[in-house]
Structure 1
């Protein structure tokens, strides 16, 4: 059932805010503030499965400085992360582990698929293969796809910026049907 929305009265800021402080006072919707905070303080859980993980590790180095985008502290635990970055081939044996880690992450949560193997199986995709998943989206919902074999660190940074744009717009990664 949808919540009942009552019309809110329009409040004039003139009597509340003194004229001296008006340039420094901004009114905003609380959800917009929360989304901006979420977008600029991402806590990624790295899941390096193959060669793309080397490029993902390079992003954490000082040359690329991922901290300037608010995502520089990689988390070792799923319970402390809100973004899962897949990098590499996903084998059938790793599928249940990935699903379990995804379920352990607190909501809201997002995911990034990095590299051709993670997106659709890459060069290991052939008829009747049994060992790998043909894409991370068979396990968890993916918010951002970063193509390449392996993608450059700049591409991962662009993917993180794209995810930040989605979060600022209010998109919830785990709230999809």
Structure 2
């Protein structure tokens, strides 16, 4: 009875009206100010130009998702699990992952292991030789943040200080299943990428 009385009171009606008007006004303001997201443009393009660009993005990203070729860059014990992912038990080839021995033909770099200060310039040089678009997977605690050798004078505390990282795979060492899951997440990220508007990210 108390709830019915409170809901039927004029104060409750006025408060409800203010909330409704405020929410409608906020939606109107947000529709005028907030631009559309990339997912909204791809899902429902407004113009022919957006339709063409989003279709090109879908085709380009589909091709890259089905053929992610990582650069073989094993630095420490994590490379053993990386090789395990390429073996017959997990068979990375079935999802389009093929290791390449040259940076000119690869678009993904898997940093597997401890990155030292002496190796950091070589890592950056190999990354610069990869064609764009390119992605980096940081595999293991040592590549993520120094790991067991975090306080060593000769270890870089995370390869993201040298190259931009897209996916972090935790573990010491991470299993082949974890690396496979990280590669699948990278493929999802590639699928959401907009190649036609990628140029502005450099500036």
TM-score range normalised by the length of the shorter chain: 0.7 to 0.9
Q: Cα offset for 1:176?
A: 5.9
Q: Cα offset for 1:68?
A: 1.3
Q: Which residue of 1 aligns with 2:123?
A: 98
Cα-to-partner distance string for 1:76-127 (whole Å, 9 max, x where unaligned): 001110000000000111000000000000000000000000000001112x
Unaligned runs of 5+ in 1: 1-6, 10-27
**Is residue 157 of structure 1 aligned with residue 157 of structure 2?**
no
Q: Cα offset for 1:31?
A: 1.2
Q: Which residue of 2 aligns with 1:55?
A: 81
**Is residue 135 of structure 1 aligned with residue 175 of structure 2?**
no
Normalising by structure 1, report the TM-score.
0.80
Unaligned runs of 5+ in 2: 1-46
User: Residue 137 of structure 2 is aligned with which of 112, 120, 131?
Assistant: 112
Structure with bigger gyration radius: 2
Q: Which residue of 2 aligns with 1:32?
A: 58
Q: Give the secondary structure class of the aligned counterpart of 2:61.
A: helix
CA separation in 2, counterparts of 1:160 and 1:100? 23
Q: Which has the higher contact order (CA 8 A, sep 6+)?
A: 1
CA separation in 1, counterparts of 2:164 and 2:48? 36
Please provide the CA RMSD for this pair.
Answer: 2.1
Q: Does structure 1 conserve the Cα–Cα contact (< 8 Å) formed by 2:167 and 2:186? A: yes
Q: Which residue of 2 aligns with 1:146?
A: 169
Cα-to-partner distance string for 1:27-76 (whole Å, 9 max, x where unaligned): x71111110110110110021000000000000101101011110x2110
**1:37-48 counterparts in 2 under 5 A?**
37-48=63-74
Q: Which has the higher helix share?
A: 2
Q: Which residue of 1 aligns with 2:105?
A: 80
CA separation in 2, counterparts of 1:140 and 1:77? 18
Q: Give the secondary structure class of the aligned counterpart of 2:138.
A: strand
Normalising by structure 2, report the TM-score.
0.70
Distance of aligned partners of 1:135 and 1:152 in 2 relative to their CA distance in 1, 3 Å threshold:
same
CA separation in 1, counterparts of 2:93 and 2:202? 29
Q: Does structure 1 conserve the Cα–Cα contact (< 8 Å) formed by 2:57 and 2:194? A: no
